[in-house]
Amino acid sequence: MARRRSDLRGIGRAALAALLLVPISAGAGEARAPALCLSETRGTGAELARLPLGPDGSFELSFIHSVSKTPVRDLYRLENGEILQTGEIFMAHGAGLPSIANDMDATGWRHEDGRFILDMHRLTGPIPLRIQAQFQNTLHIAGTDLSLADLGVPALTLAPCDEETSQ
């Protein structure tokens, strides 16, 4: 088991290395690119990575819903140093998924191509995630897909990086 976990961490680190090709530091007079920090939720709480976001500060999380066993995609954007959830896309209603048009912070609701799409404007704060390989937890950021199970930790927290903290 220790060898398998080590192999997965290697894969996760390779994916992180690919994401880190985009610089997040800025020179004098330049705006600092927004970045998302991944930290262990349990144990030491160590920062695992700082991932640069695209110019619009957006990222997505996808997973297989534990009850309906169907894909779910959550859409986010960093705005004014906070995480804002802008949408959720899913195929079947299940525990924890919206079921009415006037769900909390909803700004729109539609059904397209067999998917339910909820538009929203919801400040989330840091996002804690329990990671299990069978649910295919994936972070989609700056054109790259990162399987979170490959990082080899059971729980992560996603949060805007503190600009004062060095890389």
At 73-119, the pLDDT tens digits run 999 999 999 999 999 998 776 555 555 555 667 778 788 888 888 89
Which sequence spans correspond to the domains of the chain? Answer: 2-20+38-160
Nearest to 107 by CA among 88, 92, 91: 88
pLDDT the model gives residue 167:
42
Give the number of other Cβ atoms within 10 Å of residue 123's Cβ. 11
Determine contact, residues 58/73, Cβ cutoff 8 Å: no
pLDDT the model gives residue 3:
42
65/97 Cα distance (integer angstroms): 9
48/50 Cα distance (integer angstroms): 7
Nearest to 155 by CA among 60, 68, 46, 70: 46
pLDDT the model gives residue 69:
83
Instruction: Tell me the β-bridge partners of 144.
Output: 141
In this predicted model, what pLDDT tens digit does every residue of 120-132 receive, in sequence order? 898 999 999 999 8
Instruction: Tell me the β-bridge partners of 74.
Output: 61, 88
Res 25 pLDDT > 90: no
Q: Does the predicted model carry a pTM greater than 0.85?
A: no
